[in-house]
């Protein structure tokens, strides 16, 4: 089987942590990446669930835009932490 090289960019800290993980499990990064690729090809999907961050939902984005409009219009209420804690007991 012909071999080839793949180059990827990754955060330096993540790389170090991943190399440490691989070492602790008795494999190197190349073996781990090959296992991932084989799982993707075998199952024809990513071997884990991928879903959107709920922060970016249309409902939340709309609420954020509305809050920004209210803030820009000066319609804000300012409370201290003590005042908010006092309201909790009301």
Q: Would you state the pLDDT for residue 28?
A: 96
22: region left, alpha or beta (phi > 0 left; psi from -120 to 50 alpha):
alpha
**What pLDDT is recorded for position 90?**
77
Residues in the chain with pLDDT < 50? none
pLDDT tens per residue across span 32-45: 999 999 999 999 99
Token look-up 């709309």 returns 62
Per-residue pLDDT, 56: 82
Domain coordinates in residue numbering, the chain: 8-90
Query: CA–CA distance from 7 to each of 10, 25, 30 (Å)?
Result: 10, 23, 11
Provide the pLDDT for residue 31: 96
Residue 75 confidence (pLDDT)? 87
What DSSP string describes the chain? -----------HHHHHHHHHHHHHTT--HHHHHHHHHHHHHHHTS-SS-----GGGSHHHHHHHHHHHHHHHTT------HHHHHHHHT-
Q: Residue 84: what pLDDT?
A: 87
């Amino acid at each position: 089987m012909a071999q080839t090289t793949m180059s990827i960019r990754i955060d330096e800290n993540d790389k170090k942590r991943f190399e440490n993980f691989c070492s602790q499990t008795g494999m190197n990064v190349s073996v781990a990446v090959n296992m991932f690729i084989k799982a993707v090809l075998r199952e024809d999907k990513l071997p884990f669930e991928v879903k959107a961050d709920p922060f970016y939902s249309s409902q939340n984005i709309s609420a954020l835009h509305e809050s920004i409009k209210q803030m820009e219009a000066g319609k804000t209420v300012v409370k201290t932490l003590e005042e908010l804690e006092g309201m909790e007991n009301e």
